Each structure stands twice: as structure tokens, then as C-alpha cells.
A and B are shown apart, each in its own frame.
Chain A
Amino acid sequence: MTSEVRSPDPIRNLRSPRPFGALFDRLSGSKQAPGHKSRTTEDQRSDLRNAAQLALQVEFSTIPVYLSGLYSISDTGSKAYQILRSVVMEEMFHVNQVANLVVALGGLPRFTREFAPTYPGYLPHANENTTPLLGLYRASIDVFSNVYAAIETPAPWDAPAQGDHYDTIAQLYESLTQAIEAFPGNPFQADPPEFRQRTDIYLGKFGGTVIKVHDKHSALAGIDQIVRQGEGKVPADKPLVPREPFGAYNQYGMRTDGTYGPILGTPEELSHFMKFREVSLDQANFPPTLPITSNPRLDDFSNPAALGLAKLFNQHYSVMLRAFERTFVRGDFDPFFGIVLNLMHEVLPSMAATLMTTPAHDNGNSEVGPNAAPTWSWDDSADVHTLARGLQQALDKTPVDSPRAAHLARAMRGLAKLVIPASGHAL
């Protein structure tokens, strides 16, 4: 599977990366299939696996974009924060669901090294003219409207399936759906010997139920949930969650009586697109944000504290990615609850808050900015065993009365909860 993957061009020409080359010319179900008739079933399954991995990278690429904006909002109770947070959580559901798809096709879902996204850039294999430039931006009305809502733009109802140069994510999924449907037989295996699907790691109150993929039906049901929740291709009168006779999903949101509260039964959940649009149209209530650098690069930080923290963030992020990838490997070691969850929920947010209150330039003023921000870059040298030492050194160098000291101390407390294996499990 890795044979076709090329490292991103070191010179940024800001074109959509195409790691899977001409994959979509070969995918079963594609109209351009002639000439590839000689491919074996296993070849076709490999193509499907690559297409699923592409979907995984598409989903994952959005998360740092959303998180950069999320962490820059200082009022966690604000509507903008809560809505953006709900979307990020549901993107994690999408990642989990697509990862199960990859596993069921016999592969390991990849998040590390060349599979980690780079910013600014485009979604892989996307049409640069119709999909937005993904960047790490300070949240604003315009970012919600022109980046976030643009990522989640619905496909027109009758839009065709598109592989390479897709206009919307929904159309990419449509081509994946067609390829699955056209596959002769069942390409899915619920429990491959090396890898495992996960249905126990999507926690919390947000929408969607992770499905174990074992056949075409379950695979398509998973994709259907993603598309409906994300871009909202389905007509608005169709429920997001299938009607269940009891214990149905109660969504809290704006009710048809005009108040906020529980929407009984199995309500229509707003698509991500509509959620973002709702925030961007409510200019008056947009919350204050931290004065961070948009699209930060390590070279931008002349403040050594900012540079050190940014690198430290990348190490934690990279360990998290490695451990997350490992979560899908069958075996007696599962780093999800011991390492990934706390890094995601406690350590990385606190470190991001530290960065975002640290001036990018020496002697800068953190109230004025520009402040540093995570670059979300892969660091191959990151090692779970050295994280605490690095964080402690950063903490030692931080003036105790600076705004970032409390955030950093909190990251340290989160790190102390990690269950780090003694040896034998390189993370």
C-alpha cells in the first residue's frame, strides 16, 4: 500500500497532494476502468484500501484546521466554541469509522510520517478551485464562513461521483461508495489477523455511532453516517440517525419553539455546514479570540520560548499520532486509553493554550500578539519517554506569573496521568 505514496514536495507549490496517483482511474466502478480489466481481485481490494486511506487523510486533515481555530477562542461556553467543538468531535467519529473501513480491507490506518497532513495545503486529491485552502487560522467570522463551511460544503443533490479533483468531500465518498458496490463479492473482513477495528473509543455526547465493518452493507452504512453528518448531502427531511424504537438520540439544540433544549426522539442533527453557517451569520455574538499567528511556521518564532514550546507541541502531537495508529494494531498493548485520550483531551489543548499566550517574538506582548500557535508538524524524533522531561524544562523556564504557566502546569498534570509502557512498545 505504501508503494504508491510519495512524500510531499518539499517546495510548497500549494497544490493538492496526490499521494495515490492514478488510483481513481483504476477503481472498480470507475467509468475510466477499461485497460485495467486484467487486475486481480486482490489488486482491486488494494485499490479500495487506498481509497479508504485517502478518505481517512481527508477527514484527518480537517482536524488541526478546526482545532487551531477552536483553541484560539477564549470563551469555551460561547456558541462558536461549542459548535466548532462538536464538529471536531464528530470528525473524530469520521476518522474512527473510516479507519475501521481500512482495517476491514486488511490495512493499517496510517496517520504518521508522510500520512500526517501539512499546512497550509489542500485536501489530498482535491480540486484546488472548489475546495478551500486549509490553513491554521485564528478563528473569525470569515474563517467559519470561507474555510470551515467551505470544507463542509454540501454536494448538489445530483452531483456525480468524483475521485481525483473532487469538488466536494461528499462526491469523493460517492466514488468510494460506487467502488465498494462494484466490487465482486465481499471485500471486507471484520477481524483481520494483524489489525483491529475499534468501536469503543468514540466517547461523549456527539452524534454518530461507530460501526464495525464486515460487509458492504455495514461499510456503506458507516459512510452514509459520515456524509449526512458532515456535508449533509441527504435531503433535510431525512433523519440523521435511523429511528430507533427506544432510547433514541436526544439532541440539545434550537427547538422549533425557538428555545434551546432537548429535541425529543431522533431529531435531525444540523450538518456541519449548517452549524458553521449559523455561527458565521451571527456576527454580533462572535467571541473574542487570542491574537495568534495564522499559518505559523517554526521559522516565524523569534522568541526562543515560543519556538521551544512549538517543537514540544509537535513532539506530543507526533507521539499521539503514533499511539493512535497503534490503537488499530491487534495485540495485548492498547495505547488508546492510557496515552492517546489524555494527550488529545488534556495535554495538547493545554499546550496549545500555552503557545497561544506566548508572544511569537522576543519581548512581545501576549495581549497584543502576534502569539505563537501549533504548527501541527510531524516530528520523527518524538519519543513518549522524553515528553515529560521536555515539558518540565519548559515549565522551569516559564515565569510563574506568566499567563502560560498555568496552562503548562495543567499539561504537566495531564502528562502525569499517561500510562507509559516500560519498554518493548516504541511510541
Chain B
Amino acid sequence: MTSYKIYPSIGVARVGNAPAKFYVGPEVYRGLPTLPDGAPFTERDFRDDEGRLCRQAARFRVFREGPNGSEEVTLDTPGIASITWTAHIANKKASWYTFVTNEGENGYAPNHPLRNATEPDRNKLMIDAGPRSIAGALQSGVHFDATSAPPNYQGVNFPQGPLNPTGESISSLGELRTDDAGRLLVLGGFGISGTAAPDPKINEYANNDGWWDDTSDGPVFAVIRLTDGTEIRAAASWVLVGPPSYAPQIANLVSLWDTIFDAGVRNGKVPAIFEQGLWKSGPSGYKPNFQSEIQPLLERATLYPWVAAIPPKPHTFNFEQLGTVPKSPATDEYKGLRSWILDVLRPPSSENVIVSDKGRTMMPFLAGDNCLILDTLTSKYLRLTDTQFFFMQQWAAGWFRNEVATSDQAAALTRGVLENCVGGAFSPGIEMGWISRNTAIYQDDDPLRINARLVVDGPLSAGFDPRQMEPGDVCRYMAVPWQADFNECSSQPMDGRVIWWWPAQRPEFVYLEPPAPRAVTTAEAPPPPDLRSGQQVAWVGTDFDQLRNDFISFADDVDMVRYWQGLGFVMEKTVHGKLRFVEVARTLPRPFFPPAK
């Protein structure tokens, strides 16, 4: 039987304030974005000609799955008459419960407060323009705004009037386009956040009543009409619209793919790894592939020092030694080295341990889901997912493979997109929060595909049904406005240490590209140390005093609402003949102190 499915099963668009120019989000692990016209992506392409930050489009494709694997279907494929895409994105942040770390993941308590609790009409707290459809090649201009809403659609709602502090209005959540082969491009909002309050204040990292932002999420459907007139509904995907990705080539130790995959594994969807409650460990169990399941994890640790103050030496690994598959246990000369690495990884059930009883600092040195509520400190520190840890355990014991990984191209698309997103810590997160771990929201036969409900006439539901996920049902677990969490979740003082949040998504410290070397004359003052030595500098804010309220962040979250689009990107470049990750395309001056308001 032939079935049609949309891939990636979860796609990611990102906000930007450039009105027209955009790029397509990376579809491979640690990839750069791509340009719609296929030209090579350069550091100039993060912004438009006026220095405005480009939006990232999520691209969706249809794959036909047959006995020989999957193949992409486009308007150019023989036998295909048309592909009609329908997407519906919404923002339900203001209508949902307040975000409190960990609370609600297993159901909300009766005393859990709502955001904007005094508003009786919860639909007035949603941003929704209804569904939109598009078909054909190179189409554009299908906007998610109030004026173009379907005439019968109930529940169209947008924030009233200009919002403070920027004076801009949220009048659209994004746009649908198609490329030259009829693939769908979903563009998100412009990064406008604000409140009607005349004196805008952000009091909290996650919940701010009266505030809006123009991120969103929702399902993506497609109907394929064959030349013989047959119409086929493809399996639906989901689009997430999140904050910009400022360091696209640097991945999180726990990516969103790892988290969703782990949820599926623990739900019994990957019996080769975990079946009937038992992990397939030992010599006859699951043998992780070093190239695709071990080395990337080690690599991510190697890359963190480019975006956080983390010593490179202990994060540098000899992959030749570590990838050597032992011929027999008696000749496994690197077993001790692998065990040594496993021993420094924070194991499950040790989420609050920073120094082991052997005195080693446990890794990762990153904040966990819940390090904010002092009297219920659980999961203070991040750890690998169960599945990642299981892979590391099998590897350390010597039960692993080392071979070129092969993967279905459609499945690889989902993995490639989600590996560039944050899979923890969820406090609340960047693209998707702990709802990503709730296996009830995924389809029974596809643990990476969300149960999508097409809402034809509206209005949207204010409730939660994991079998019928609606537009806005994913982003509502995130901070409102996103800039508040994004600004504050840089460093976290904890137990006398300063722990990092999501350096790969929200850089803490960056390296600058040094100016071209020139002849030094004695009369000339030496260049500042950061340019001379390539020393790390704060990506935002200051770095000389950890107690200052603008330590690697803005002192006031409202300034992130104003200036997020001026921050720099971290990109791999050749500097003095070597590959480095340096900051590019920053439009804010450095140092930058926001002017008094």
C-alpha cells in the first residue's frame, strides 16, 4: 500500500523583523540555513539590505512511502496533478496556565493559576487567523492576518492596536508560500512582542499578563490530487515558530529530536532498544552506532566552548580511540577511557548532583528543568535522556558498532530539523517545552508525528486533548513574551556555581573575528585584548561582574523585546587558516548599553 506523508513531521520556522527577505531553516544536523534561490548562504544572509533580521521559513515536502522506502513527490513528479497545502497556526500563550517549572507535566493541579485569569473569554487571549491554503508553484502572499481570514471562520482574534514598548502591532502570524516544485514554506511572525500597558514592564521570565508575542504553532495538511483524479490526504505535520537560531551550527547536547525519540523509545515504539519495560543491554542487546549515536554527543560537548565559558581541554576527544570497536573483551584497550567518560556523565536519578562522591564535576554543566523553585529542588541539572545514556552505557561496555549511518531520507529530514533545536532543559524551553515528552500527543504508529486536528470553522478550544492537538497547543507552554525567558535564561547561579542554560541556542560568550593582522608600530596603542587574543566576550550585556544585573543579559527583559534583532550570529569561518566559530552580523554596537528610556 502506498501512503503519503508530510516531512519533516515537525518543522521549525523562526521569527525575524525583515519584511521580505527570508531563508529556509537548516534541514540537516548543524547545517546553515539555505536560501530560497539555492545560492550559497553567507554571513550577509542573516539580514536583509537594511540590516533587519531575516525570518526562517519551515519547508515541508510530501513523501510517498512504498516498499522501497520513501521518495519525494513534487509537482514535477509524473502522475501528480496538484498538491494543496493547508496550515493553521495560532498563539494560545495568553490563554493557558502559567508556566511553573515541572508543574503540569503530569496534569495541572486545581490551584494552578491561569495566565490573565480575570479574562472570562479565553478566545480573546488567543491570536488566531484561522486556516489558510495554498497550491501550485512559486505562490506567495497567503498571510495569517485578520483581513484575509476565511469568511465563515469563528474566532479570529488579534491584539488590539499598537503594543508597547515598540509601538508595533501584531497583525499577522506569518505567511504561506510555495517553492518552484510546490513544496510548502511556512513563515512565522516578525518578532513583535508587547503589551497595551503604557509603561511596559516584564516582571517574570515566563508569565506576564497583558503581554503578547507573535510566535505560534499548528498543523500542516496536504491533499495530493493525482492525474487520474484521485485525492489523497497526506499524514499531517506540525510547524513550530520559535525565536531566531543565533548559532545554527552548534547543537545542544540534548536536542529536541533526542527528547522526542527518547519518549518514543520509553513508550515501547523502538523495541530494538527497549521492549516490555526492559532495556536491550549487554552483548546481545542494542549496539549503538558510534558515528550516529555516540560521536555526535561528544562533538556537541566539543562545540560548547565556542558559545559558553567552558574549558576546551576536557571537552576534546580522540575519536579514533573512542570509536575503536573491541575485537574481544580481552583486547579492549580503550575500555577504561570510555568508562572514564561515562563516569562523568550525570546518570538518571542524579539530577541534583554536581560533584560526584569521587570529586568529579558531573556533566553536562547545564541547568536542569527545575532549578528555580528552591524548596522543591528536583532536576537542578540537565542530564542525557535515558536513551542517550543507554547508548553511552552500551558503548562504554564495548557493545557498539562503528559504521556509516544510513537512514531513510524522509526520516532524516525530521531528525535533521529537530536536532537543531533544544531538547532540554525545559524551563520552559526555546522551540517546544516539556509537552514534547508527552507521548499522548503523538500518533500511535508514528512517535514523531503529532495528532493534528483540522479546525475548519473555529473557534479554537481553550482546553487540551492530546488526541486532537490544535493550533497553538504547543507554544502555549512557552514564555510570554519569549524574549523574557530568552534574556534571563543565560546563566543560573546555583550551589555557589554559575551554570549555563542553552548556550547552543542562546549564546553566553562569543569569540570575535580578529581584524586582519597589520604591521605593529611602537607608537601605536595595542588593540584591545579581546580583539588581540580572541578572548571571549559577552554575547549580550557585560561579563566583568557576575552579580551585575546585566551579566551576559539585558538588565531589563523589555530591552530584549527591543533589541533581540540586533544581536550577532555565531558562524563557522576560516580565521588565520583555521576553522573557528565567530560572531557575525551583529548590528548592535559593542559594548552596548541600552539608552535610558
What is A's interface to B at a CB cutoff of 8 Å?
76-77, 81-82, 85, 200, 203-205, 209, 243-252, 255-262, 264-266, 333-342, 345-346, 349, 417-422
Contact = CB atoms under 8 A, between A and B. Distances in A.
B336 A257 contact: no
Contacts of B578: 246
A341 B336 contact: yes
B358 A76 contact: yes
B340 A345 contact: yes
B321 A200 contact: yes
B3 interface: no
Nearest to B312: A247
B333 interface: yes
B534 A205 contact: no
Nearest to A88: B359
B330 A419 contact: yes
Interface string B52-90: 000000000000000000000000000000000000000
B314 A250 contact: no
Contact of A76 (B356, B498, B509): B356
B547 A417 contact: no
A340 B497 CA distance: 32
Given A85-B359, A245-B514, A257-B544, A262 B309 contact: yes
A419 B331 CA distance: 7
Given A205-B311, A246-B580, A419-B331, A265 B533 contact: yes
B536 A261 contact: no
Nearest to B359: A76
A205 B546 contact: no
Chain A binding surface, main DSSP class = loop
B536 A264 contact: yes
Contacts of B358: 76, 345-346, 349
A334 B305 CA distance: 31
B313 interface: yes
Nearest to B335: A419
B498 A337 contact: no
Nearest to A245: B534
A341 to B, nearest CB: 4
Nearest to B339: A417
B547 A248 contact: no
Contact of B497 (A81, A244, A260): A260
A366 B318 CA distance: 43
Interface residues on B, range: 35 or more
B535 A340 contact: no
Contact of B576 (A204, A245, A333, A422): A245
Contact of B534 (A246, A257, A421): A246
Q: Which of A76, A77, A244, A260 has the most CB of B within 10 A?
A: A77
Nearest to A261: B498
Given A203-B314, A260-B497, A264-B543, 13 more contacts: A76-B356, A76-B359, A205-B313, A205-B361, A245-B514, A247-B312, A248-B533, A249-B312, A259-B546, A266-B535, A334-B333, A338-B336, A342-B339
B546 to A, nearest CB: 4
A127 to B, nearest CB: 33
Contacts of A252: 311, 497
A336 B336 contact: yes
A295 B522 CA distance: 59
Contacts of A244: 533-534
A85 B360 CA distance: 9
A190 B514 CA distance: 35
Given A245-B576, A265-B536, A257 B547 contact: yes
A243 B532 CA distance: 10
Given A203-B340, A266-B533, A250 B546 contact: no
A337 B337 contact: yes
B343 interface: yes
A342 B358 CA distance: 13
B511 interface: yes
Contacts of B314: 203-205
B197 interface: no
A247 B305 contact: yes
A257 B343 CA distance: 33
B535 A265 contact: yes
Contacts of A337: 321, 333-337, 340
Contact of A246 (B318, B332, B335, B575): B575
Nearest to A414: B339
B498 A262 contact: yes
B528 interface: no
B38 interface: no
Contacts of B330: 419-422
Contacts of B331: 419, 421
Contacts, number: 134
B508 to A, nearest CB: 9
Nearest to A202: B313
Contact of A338 (B335, B359, B534, B535): B335
Given A85-B359, A200-B318, A421-B330, A341 B311 contact: no
B110 interface: no
A328 to B, nearest CB: 15
B147 to A, nearest CB: 51
Contacts of B354: 77
B270 interface: no
A333 B318 CA distance: 18
Contacts of A81: 359
Nearest to A262: B309
A11 B536 CA distance: 58
B526 interface: no
B408 interface: no
Contacts of A243: 533
Contacts of A256: 544
The 4 nearest A-B residue pairs measured at CB = A262-B309, A341-B336, A265-B535, A205-B314
Contacts of A418: 336
B333 A338 contact: yes
A240 to B, nearest CB: 13
B357 interface: yes
Given A250-B305, A260-B497, A337-B337, A82 B359 contact: yes
Contacts of A248: 312, 533-536
Contacts of A346: 343, 358
A338 B335 CA distance: 6
Contacts of B496: 260
A264 B509 contact: yes
B333 A419 contact: yes
Nearest to B578: A246
29 contacts: A76-B357, A205-B311, A205-B314, A205-B361, A209-B313, A244-B534, A245-B514, A245-B576, A246-B511, A246-B580, A247-B306, A248-B312, A250-B305, A250-B311, A259-B546, A259-B547, A261-B309, A261-B546, A264-B543, A265-B535, A337-B336, A338-B335, A339-B336, A341-B336, A341-B340, A345-B340, A346-B343, A418-B336, A420-B330
A277 to B, nearest CB: 21
B329 interface: yes
B543 to A, nearest CB: 6
A419 B321 contact: no
A345 B313 CA distance: 19
Interface string B526-554: 00010001111000000111110000000
A337 B357 CA distance: 22
Contacts of A249: 311-313
B226 interface: no
B547 A245 contact: no
A245 B312 contact: no
Interface in B354-381: 354-359, 361
B336 A245 contact: no
Interface string B319-360: 001000000011111111101100100000000001111110
Nearest to B509: A264
B310 interface: yes
A283 to B, nearest CB: 19
A417 B357 contact: no
A67 B395 CA distance: 31
Nearest to A74: B357
